[in-house]
Amino acid sequence: MGIVKFEDIIAWQKSRELVLKVYNIFKESKDFGFKNQIERASVSVMNNIAEGFERRTNNEFRYFLYVSKGSVGEVRSMLYLALDLKKISKKDFNELYNLTNEISKILTGLIKTIN
């Protein structure tokens, strides 16, 4: 049947998982600026997929997928900083890193499909 609603998109489902993990891992953080930035970037991944899909044109969907891909890169970059600053364990870093990498690859494939 294919994709009928944005909730059917695997990248969106994985992004939702990413948001929940980011919020859970950083929930006790007292560095509110850092916490806010990584949370907002992770939410941006899933919301841009949803917004682009709801626009109902391939050009706009593609654009928002690129924005989402940029946000997932931002999350991954911040994970390195979190690790360097000892705000996150190596185990949590690896789990989130792998999830962001997977989402990025899925988005790349989706963008290629639209092109």
What pLDDT sits at residue 78? 98
**Domain presence at residue 89:** yes
pLDDT in tens, 80-96: 999 999 999 999 999 99
Q: What is the CATH number of the domain that holds 46?
A: 1.20.1440.60
What pLDDT sits at residue 61? 96
| Alpha helices (H) in the chain, listed in sequence order | 10-25, 32-55, 58-84, 90-114
- The share of the chain scoring above pLDDT 70, in percent, equals 99
Number of domains into which the chain is organized:
1
What pLDDT sits at residue 1? 60
Q: Average pLDDT in the 88-106 region?
A: 98
Query: Could you tell me the pTM of the whole model?
Result: 0.94
**Domain presence at residue 1:** no
pLDDT at 2 over 90: no
Q: Average pLDDT in the 18-45 region?
A: 97
Domain containing residue 102: 6-114
CB 45: neighbour CB atoms within 10 A? 29
One-letter amino acid of 86: K
Q: Average pLDDT in the 23-44 region?
A: 97
**Domain presence at residue 72:** yes
pLDDT in tens, 48-70: 999 999 999 999 999 999 999 99
